């Protein structure tokens, strides 16, 4: 499978009144590479890596794919329901087939076992064994309320706990525009304990909770609110345990949030509405205090499309989008 290579310059466009830091001039030039998905797959929403391999990503037709290199590109790795038929589902983008085909969104590996945990928009939280293939269902409800839109995911590797979001109690994946119009605030932040097979609701009444990420020391967890255009910090330990606060508010809608490899900063994928119904996809880097360190537009590469994730891995940023047929990769 051929790799499409595009050399471009990313123009640094500040989107907030003040930026405390920016990238030095030496990194303003990016090498941008498109890693094509197998046609006609669409929508690499989130990424995971394991032992130097990947990215792994879920796509709109229900598959989780693994990138194996420039020769073979992405290959099938897993699927989330035994009812899935390749003849019916491969390449499908019809939301009515979601319960049949599945739709993996947030994904992450439990590093000690190599198991892949997946937040499926229709099927709930599932887990894939070390050899891929069919996932095993774990949980699809909490406190008597069925999940409507499982979305983001992160894992506490030491305690073997999965933090994830259910973006709405009312609206499904295909109904996100309706959720935004209604200013929906029925989402939840949850924690699944792998050892005890129990689920705890940590936060309620969230406005489109999307991405979730743990602090390096797991003292707190950050959760983005897509509709409310902000990030909340929920304290897990210390004197403020079990309380939350608004960390930062954006001009646009934040989706996934990912910790840098060094663990000191967080990348947020933000889609900013502009005049004339134009969307500006934007990568934003913040710290644990909510200070905006870096912000730049990805419009040259993604045009009017929204982005779902900015994840730093090795020397590159991996960009997710529900609207593309490729994985965006920047060497910087």
pLDDT at 276: 82
Question: DSSP string covering 136-168, please?
Answer: EEEESEETTEE-S-EEEEEEETTTTEEEEEE--
Give the global pTM: 0.91
Which H helix or E strand runs over 101?
helix 98-101
Dihedral of alpha carbons 255, 17, 331, 323, sign: positive
Helix (H, G, I), strand (E, B), or coil: what is residue 249? strand
Which residues are within 8 A (CB) of 221 and not within 5 positions of it... i.e. 6 or more apart? 154, 163, 189, 202, 212, 213, 214, 215, 233, 234, 236
pLDDT at 278: 87
Rounded to whole angstroms, the Cα distance separating 291 from 16 reads: 11
Question: DSSP string covering 51-80, please?
Answer: TTEEEEEE-TTSEEEEE--TTT-EEEEEES
Which H helix or E strand runs over 331?
strand 326-331
Low-confidence ranges of the chain (pLDDT < 70): 1-30
The predicted-structure confidence for 34-71, as pLDDT tens digits, reads as follows 999 999 999 999 999 999 999 999 999 999 999 999 99
What is the chain's mean pLDDT, rounded?
92
Question: Whose structure tokens read 């990769």?
Answer: 329
φ, ψ at 234 (rounded to 5°): -110, 120
Task: Using DSSP bridges, classify how beta strands 74-79 and 133-134 pair: parallel, antiparallel or unpaired.
Answer: parallel
CB 173 within 8 A of CB 121: yes
Dihedral of alpha carbons 235, 240, 241, 245, sign: negative
Rounded to whole angstroms, the Cα distance separating 315 from 57 reads: 19
What Cα–Cα distance (Å) separates residue 122 from each residue in 1, 47, 171? 31, 19, 11
Closest by alpha carbon to 329, among 73, 39, 51?
Answer: 73
pLDDT at 331: 86
The predicted-structure confidence for 160-214, as pLDDT tens digits, reads as follows 999 999 999 999 999 999 999 999 999 999 999 999 999 999 999 999 999 999 9
Rounded to whole angstroms, the Cα distance separating 110 from 79 reads: 18
The answer to whether the peptide bond before residue 185 is cis (omega within 30 degrees of 0) is no
pLDDT at 6: 37
Helix then strand count (H, E) for the chain reads 4, 28
Closest by alpha carbon to 267, among 328, 225, 308, 322?
Answer: 308
The domain ranges of the chain are 1-36+260-332
Other Cβ atoms less than 10 A from the Cβ of 316: the count is 18
pLDDT at 277: 79
CB 33 within 8 A of CB 4: yes
Question: DSSP string covering 183-237, please?
Answer: T---EEEEEEETTTTEEEEEEEEESSEEEEEE-TTSSEEEEEETTTTEEEEEE-S
């Amino acid at each position: 499978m051929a790799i499409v290579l595009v050399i471009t310059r990313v123009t640094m466009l500040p989107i907030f009144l003040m930026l405390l830091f920016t990238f030095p001039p030496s990194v303003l030039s990016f090498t941008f590479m498109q890693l094509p998905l197998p046609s006609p797959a669409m929508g690499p929403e989130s990424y995971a890596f394991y032992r130097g391999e990947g990215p792994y990503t879920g796509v709109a037709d229900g598959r989780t794919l693994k990138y194996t290199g420039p020769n073979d590109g992405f290959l099938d790795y897993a699927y989330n329901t035994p009812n899935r038929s390749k003849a019916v589902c491969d390449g499908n983008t019809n939301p009515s087939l979601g319960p049949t085909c599945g739709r993996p969104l947030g994904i992450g590996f439990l590093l000690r076992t190599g198991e892949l945990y997946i937040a499926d928009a229709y099927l709930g939280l599932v887990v894939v064994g070390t050899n891929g293939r069919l996932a095993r269902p774990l949980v699809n409800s909490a406190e008597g309320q069925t999940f409507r839109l499982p979305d983001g995911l992160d894992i506490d590797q030491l305690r073997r706990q999965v933090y994830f979001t259910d973006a709405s109690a009312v609206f499904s994946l295909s109904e996100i525009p309706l959720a935004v119009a209604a200013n929906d605030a029925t989402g939840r932040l949850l924690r699944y304990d792998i050892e005890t097979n129990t689920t705890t609701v940590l936060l309620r009444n969230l406005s489109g909770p999307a991405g979730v990420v743990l602090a390096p020391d797991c003292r707190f967890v950050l959760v983005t609110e897509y509709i409310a255009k902000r990030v909340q910090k929920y304290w897990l330990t210390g004197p403020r345990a079990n309380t939350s606060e608004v960390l930062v508010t954006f001009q646009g809608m934040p989706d996934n949030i990912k910790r840098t490899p060094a663990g000191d900063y967080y990348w947020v994928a933000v889609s900013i509405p502009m005049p004339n119904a134009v969307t500006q996809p934007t990568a934003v880097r913040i710290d644990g205090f909510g200070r905006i360190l870096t912000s730049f537009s990805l419009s040259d590469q993604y045009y009017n499309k929204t982005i779902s994730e900015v994840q730093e891995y090795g020397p590159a940023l991996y960009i997710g989008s529900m609207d593309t047929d490729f994985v965006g990769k920047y060497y910087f």
